[in-house]
Structure 1
Amino acid sequence: MMEVICISMILLMSIVPKASSQNIQIQVLPQPVIYQENDLVIQCSITNPSQLSDVYFMQLNRNISTGFETVVSILKGQSPQTPQTPQIKWPSGSTLRYRACAGGSEINTPSTAKLKLTIHKNSVLCPTDFTAYNCKFSGLSTSTSDFVTQEANPVTITYIVKPRIIEMPRVRISGELTDTPLRQFPISTVLQLTCEGQIGNDARKTIRWCARKSTDFTFTGMPQTPLHSEASLIDCQYRRSSTIIYNLTDTDTSTQFLCESGDTGMCGTGSAIQYVNINTESNLSNTPEVSDTSGSHETGVIAGSVIGSLVLLTTAIVLVYFARRNYKCTCEKESGENKRDNLQNTSDLVEDESGYTTITDESERHQDTYDEITGSEEKNQYEAIPGKGILHMHFHDCRSFMNLYIC
């Protein structure tokens, strides 16, 4: 029954004179559409609902090679039980119905009537869905109470396809027949750099080159004029290659090149971008020198550590030595005081006012003290002096001992 009504409405539209298109419009949201970033939304609506008392039918068509074909239609509910429920009709055999939806469409009143087609961004087919569309509707005129049909002028969808894929730049020494995997070259080497990839849906677009030397902070466009190949269309993307000739100088110690497409004007803003680094051999020759300097520094650190350790070890030995001598001086001092006490009453010694013990025996005064001391092999020379009755001195600390070498 619905099919009969739909066919009848279409036939009626074909025989009823067309009114001006001022009451129907078609919109594409957004415009332009960015492929794979925006949903494609096409909407038909009434612009002057006050001139219509009712809307019965709305239809969205699109252009194909043989003319316009129906995409989707909406009919006012014909069932007495559900008069407010619109009927969404897809053409027989339509494959678009599996990729799109007509949600949000309704036709209850002229002021709210609209037909909305939405294709999700991941379901849009390029370039199939990016074509011309138009809208039709039929309704009842308020002024004449006549059945009228109107058709909006076609709207062609504008769209942008951003490049997504670009190959790594190929490097070739000028004059050679094949590319080289090398990325270090002598100064004055002439290089041929080639980049190939997508440029979007505009065949006039090209691939551009930028460079940044080791002394630069940002990339800048290269003045060399690239050689571009012809653009070839694959699906919704054009592809082409771009080649530049570059002569290495002594300023190219480490130069980074980029090739890009889909840029917004500034270097490095492309939606498809690749990089390649080129070094000169003069830069590489400095590497061993840096390594050698580093080795010399490490050697100096090790030598300093060894010398420091030896100084610490020597200081420790000296401290231990003086500690032992200090202990020995203390013992000899006490022993010497005891012996002096025993000899105070003899006639050999006389204590003078200076506080030191002196020798008074005339027969012993001219005798070389060390002649008798060296005869003993069992004692140290300095330990034997008190035993022979020679001068015994009271030392207040071991520093005096070190200065006199006698304790």
Structure 2
Amino acid sequence: MKILTVDVGTGTQDIFLYDSQIDIENGFKLVLPSPTMMVRKRIQEATRSQVPILLTGLTMGGGPSSWAVNDHLKAGFPVYATENAARTLDDNLDAVAEMGIILVSDDEASNLPTSIQRIEFRDFDFPAITDVFARFGVSLDDLAAVAVAVFDHGAAPPDISDRQFRFDYLDERIRERNALSSFAFLAKDIPPIMTRLQAVADSARDVDAPLIVMDTAPAAVLGATFDPIVAQRKQKIIANIGNFHTLAFRLGDKGIEGVFEHHTGEIDLPKLEGYLQNLADGTLQHETIFNDMGHGALIYNKEAMLLNGEDFDVVVTGPRRSMYSSALTPTLSPRERESTPTLRPYFSVPFGDMMIAGCFGMLSATTDLLPNIAEDVRASLKGAGGAGTPPWEIG
């Protein structure tokens, strides 16, 4: 049995092919440029060539691609976009038009001159991934499931903050079912407000297997729990420090005890550690994070959690975990000592690989949504996961 997992981030897309017939450490993996970085490169090439561009396809992750579009406009070159692609830049199409982007229908797009550079937006390109594996003699024709993770703010109404909208969604999911896997959905069950998740499903029409979509940060945190040292802790805080967003979960015997989400670019190590400490002692306030330009905080268990364990205080994962790099440096300059962590971090490496923690999290979530394949997958995940309560038994 094979399951393809794809974790789509800002910098990279991390791909893991699970095969129940081999040890999970021997599974085939790829770490490739993210779709938004690939689109950014194509737009920059068009800017250098001084040609207009047409954005087509689906809603996808922004960031680098959005910045490249803005640079193209600033350089004085036209940008056309179909509605679905334009929502990558802003859910409000009026705001997109105010940027100077010319909105066109699909029919109008097909009739534009061929001299205009056409750039397709999509977060998940199954044919391209299939082709890469095929070049190495690996077939994806017999998949039992496909799981894809992306970060989705959700389509907030014009009068509601997208940060608050996103956090209300997190609260709703946790209250409905207190488990990290509650952020995963079968394609048919995606909430209408989660437009980027739905766009992933729309891009996977050629996938002949059940499709599961999941939020990236909970997937990474869930994956981090499969590190055998992390698994031994019944109560822990796991911080996923991503390129754009930092999300920390406090986990206990009954599931999620608290969570906060911030923008990585808005915090430094002292601020992060203060928030982590307040998450542990149950005093972190939603307004504290929100008023600091973050998304917010939720506390479900206000009983203080003791951080100073014998081995570590907080579990850290994510591509920007280098924020804690001074913890690994024995000799520091006076300036570097100012950013020395006060909390002792443990850098989770589930199955020996931090980069694909989200893929392992998706595999675990898949067992909740597809019970028919759960036994084999859980056996594989538990086989190298060490002691402790398996994540699917929490909550």
TM-score of the aligned structures, taking structure 1 as reference length? 0.19
- Greater share of helix residues, 1 or 2? 2
Larger Rg over CA atoms: 1
Q: Which has the higher strand share?
A: 1
TM-score of the pair, normalised by structure 2:
0.19
Higher relative contact order at CA 8 Å, sep ≥6: structure 1 or structure 2?
Answer: 2
